[in-house]
Amino acid sequence: MCSHDAATMSNDEECSIPTKLYPMRASGPVGKRVTSIYQKRMANFFTPGQWEKVNLLAALNDDVFNGPQNIKLSVWHAPGTTRPTFKEATDRSNTFEEAHVGNSFGPSWTTHWFKVNITVPEELCQNERLIELHWDCGNEATVWSENGEPLQGLTGRGERVEYVLPSTFKDGRGHILWIEMACNGMFGNGPGRPIFKNNAGGDSIQPPDPNKHFPLIKAELVAPNMQARMLHVDFQIIQDAALELPEDTWEQHEALNVASRIIDTFNASDRSSILRCRKIAEEYLGSDINSASVHKPVNDKKPTVFAIGHCHIDTCWLWPWAETRRKVVRSWSNQCDLMDRYPELNFACSQAQQFKWLKEDYPHAWERVKSKVKAGKFHPIGGCWIEHDTNLPGGESLVRQFLYGQRFFESNFGSRSTTCWLPDTFGFSSQLPQLCRQAGMNRFLTQKPCFNSVNEFPHTTFNWVALDGSQVICHMPPAKTYCAEVNFGDIKRSIANHKSLDQDNTALIAFGKGDGGGGPTWQHMERLRRLRGMSDTVGQIPRVHSGDTVDDFFDNLEQKADSLVTWYGELYFELHRGVYTTQAKQKLNNRKSEFLLRDVELLATIASIQDSSYQYPKKELDEMWEGVLLCQFHDCLPGSAIKMCYDDSNQIYTYIYKVGSSLLQQIYLVLGISEAGASLSGVQNIWALNTLPWPRKEIIVIPDNESFVSSGNSNLLSVEKFNSSQEERAVTIQEISPGVFRLQNSQLSATIEDGCITSLYDRRTRREVLSGKANKFVIFDDKPIYWQAWDVEIYHLETRKELRASTTSILEDKPYRVSVVTEAKISDLSSIKTTISLSAAFEDQQCYVECRAEVIWHETMKFLKVEFPVDIHNTEASYETQYGITKRPTHYNTSWDMAKFEVCCHKFADLSEYNYGVSILNDSKYGFSTVGNVMRLSLLRSPKAPDDTADMGKHHIRWAIMPHQGGLGVQTVRGAFNFNNPLKLVSASKSGNCSLTKFPIILKGDEHLVLDTVKRGEDDEDIYVSSFPKRKGRSVIIRIYDALGGHGRGTVETIWKLSKVFKTNLLEDDMEEVSFDEGNFEVDLGPFQVQTYRLVIA
């Protein structure tokens, strides 16, 4: 004011007169609010408890009808644990009995079909009010139409319990819905509460309770008060702001003020007060929160958090595959319904296998999903057959994950994915970026490394670089979840936890119920609207946007790719290290199946090119591959699923072996060979079948202990009886003192005592290989913090105990092989019998000491390993990975080094120094560690959750100790392949079949290049089984890689007449044409590069 007396001011004066005079006197005392009290008050407004009859909960429903005149139930109990189809369940021969709220249904894994007769009350039929069926039995269910169309999934336990009735039901007449009840919760049937933490009454990862029953607690028709329901969401967001924003911000105080005004305005007996409350909420949240228009651009501000609907369904985990098939239709039907109500919803969904199941089982839901895909709302993503493990599968398996996944998406939806989507996989192989790029994906999303137990991963958005230099843009959502509830905290953390803000300030958040399926709910969508409205109205929270796609998000990042930081090599996960070992038989089956498929494809290719009357078994091979790929799901192959899942996978592997054996017999006929009998009287017309692409010379022993030497450089190797004179035996054994034995050939001398190798002397280099007792069995206590099947913690190393062996004795003293056997008691329930063998050595190749163990294993929370202290010193050890080598520290210099106390390897691990090293080969193991100079192969674990029978029983395990001159080299790579793919004796007519006495296709040149895969082209017209356009003629696909990390050159030579040769990607798209001369062409690969070629047969 310019004057104390406003009345004396003239109109020309610049000061204005206030509209309301400042009062002369205080009207009364006004105190400062005690923030903590008002914060605590808020929860009482909208949560259950002693206030629920007078708070907002009392106004949520206008009417509830649960009498038999409005809803009447009858039920048919499916026999056993069968899962009948709709047609089977509604067959007139089935007897339905009356059912009521309060009845219990079970036991676990059973199915119950309800016929629900609904009559909407007349007073609800005459207006536009929404009518819902509310159903809650604490388990999962599917709502079906009277005509057999799956409509929506129900979750239970208060989540997703409502189904909106069609408007056609509002005619006063009776209508029928069917409800398929599955007696399992969202997370299976673990004992106690569905939680994931140590709990005295049980938790979700414990073995399933087979006798769970589920009471039906709710079956009613509800007319919700939609304004009260929306006010509930309004208040939730405002409360979060009042609790989570800093108290030194006006936005926090305003949130508390608004919340208090809403509470004071609300009157449970006056429904008009709800609208007044909502108006108050709009002051903080904005006026556009009731529609998708809230997400429209405002003042050219760009969103920073991209919200993408997501529904992670573990293909198996705490439930079997058969239940996953139902989870898919429940979850995806929900999303289709939600898209009709919330046009801003964009939903990303991975795993081609699950799409295929939906297509096979639920045609109506499949067509519904396809229509949403076409509308640009439902987004198939990931480009993989399933969300697979990336550490344990072989290289060709990773290729097929992409090949089968991308081809399914392209053939059914018309496009391929550009983003590899693996949010829940337990660590990532160093070659994954290269394979992604060759499969048409330059983007990668995961979540898992943010759960590291030792070191916090330092980046959010970065360029991830493979061993060969290929890169993908990787994003790890900083909300640290792939099942976000999109509450205030999730959006806040999406920027607060962002570690790459120097390069980019955007984040993706994947929201929706997950792991057990479900996906986004209406609550998620409403929260997103309010969080966006709040950002645009008062700020203080990142600007979230719903309506864009994953591609839109990555398109923005791609423009900044040059500025993003780089991460080279594997994304090692500092948790879940036990999965390299758990469920040993699954890992053995995986390795055997991969080699079986490799052999069948190679031989079938040769047969189909040689004999046009032979039909390449594309259909059967696809079925075998899809089975292997399914079993590589990230909770199946790693060993973190319930027993029911392994009963399922064992059936798949049995099928694979059966079909594979049958195919081989058919191929043998075409190639003019047959399996040799178990007993051979001579070597006439006997050959050894070699399916590896290099020369081999090995001893083959048949069951009656006859031995043969096979050698050559082709698919069929010559065979002759092993001959060794007693005077100059190729391998010998001596008991040099009581219980101490020396096994010796021309290369190695091994001393064995009490089952341990106390000395391994390299006779050619005249050096001792060991620095202590090798092949020493050690056992550890294995009690992780929580995740039993998943985790082994570093403190388990502090509990090391050596197993004591009984006396060692001679098992074999043959001219071709000598062996000793030792038995050791592990406990009163478990034992191990070990055979250590040394075979005759051949001058032109490195030999090894082979170990075979027969383990009877019935332990609880123990970890069995075998140790090899070697006289080699290096700060890094080398481990085979897919298409290359990963080097890891042998020391604990930093926390990053120490965190890798247990790592993954494939067929071998190696510790080498200049000019000498030691490789440990194996036939089925993946867990390993090298600490200092002690190499340690992990053999067996015994977790009791989620499968309390994991690894119990008998195991047969093979490994070998192979010293070598020089550093890690070709002899280890080829030796490991040979160790996993023994020669097979076959018989052939005297004239034989010349196509196998010479390699039909061979790679010559640098020996570190490996010709790994030979198969037919996917769409060749003579083997065509897909919906893709046929390719004229016949073609052969070969895949070559550099195994050791150096530039390599070579020549591919083939006996087949060629018309063209192309480089291709993994999806077999032709790239550049390659010149050739009489079936030969040059190859040139960079370090650890994988290259595919398509050879068109003339």
Residue the block writes with tokens 């990053």: 896
Measured CA to CA, the distance from residue 371 to residue 336 in angstroms comes to 9
Measured CA to CA, the distance from residue 526 to residue 544 in angstroms comes to 13
> What is the pairing mode between strands 984-988 and 686-689?
antiparallel
Query: Mind giving me the DSSP string for 435-494?
Result: HHHHTT--EEE--GGGG-SSS----SEEEEE-TTS-EEEEE--TTS-SSB---HHHHHHH
Residue the block writes with tokens 């890690």: 968
Q: Are 867 and 413 in contact (CB under 8 A)?
A: no
For 991, residues 6+ apart whose C-beta sits below 8 A from its C-beta are none
What residues form DSSP beta bridges with 136? 218
Q: Are 442 and 436 in contact (CB under 8 A)?
A: yes
Nearest to 817 by CA among 797, 861, 795, 847: 847
DSSP H or E stretch at residue 227: helix 226-244
Measured CA to CA, the distance from residue 984 to residue 676 in angstroms comes to 8
Q: How many Cβ atoms from other residues are within 10 Å of residue 1028's Cβ?
A: 12
Measured CA to CA, the distance from residue 38 to residue 982 in angstroms comes to 75
Counts of helices then strands in the chain (DSSP H, E) = 18, 56
φ, ψ of residue 396 in degrees (nearest 5): -65, -30
User: Could you give the angle at the alpha carbon of 824 between the alpha carbons of 823 and 825, nearest 5°?
Assistant: 130
Q: Which long-range contacts (CB under 8 A, 24 or more apart) does 683-687 make?
A: 683/708, 683/719, 683/720, 683/721, 685/987, 685/988, 685/989, 685/990, 685/992, 686/719, 686/985, 686/986, 686/987, 687/716, 687/717, 687/718, 687/719, 687/985, 687/986, 687/987, 687/988, 687/992
Q: How many Cβ atoms from other residues are within 10 Å of residue 396's Cβ?
A: 21
By CB atoms closer than 10 A (0-12, 13-18, 19+), residue 939 is buried
Q: Is 1022 a catalytic residue?
A: no
Residue 1030, helix vs strand vs coil: coil
**Count of CA atoms in the C-beta half-sphere (13 A) of 932:** 8
Residue 779, helix vs strand vs coil: strand
Q: Are 247 and 43 in contact (CB under 8 A)?
A: no
φ, ψ of residue 252 in degrees (nearest 5): -70, -45
Q: Which amino acid is at 837?
A: S
Among 62, 361, 424, 754, the one annotated catalytic: 424
Measured CA to CA, the distance from residue 742 to residue 421 in angstroms comes to 54
By CB atoms closer than 10 A (0-12, 13-18, 19+), residue 28 is exposed
By CB atoms closer than 10 A (0-12, 13-18, 19+), residue 16 is exposed
Measured CA to CA, the distance from residue 390 to residue 882 in angstroms comes to 9
Cα 605 to Cα 413, 614, 1036: the distances in Å are 30, 10, 7
Measured CA to CA, the distance from residue 948 to residue 207 in angstroms comes to 6
What residues form DSSP beta bridges with 929? 936
Rg of the chain's alpha carbons, rounded to an integer?
A: 34
Measured CA to CA, the distance from residue 259 to residue 44 in angstroms comes to 12
User: Could you give the angle at the alpha carbon of 602 between the alpha carbons of 597 and 608, nearest 5°?
Assistant: 120
Cite the active site residues: 424
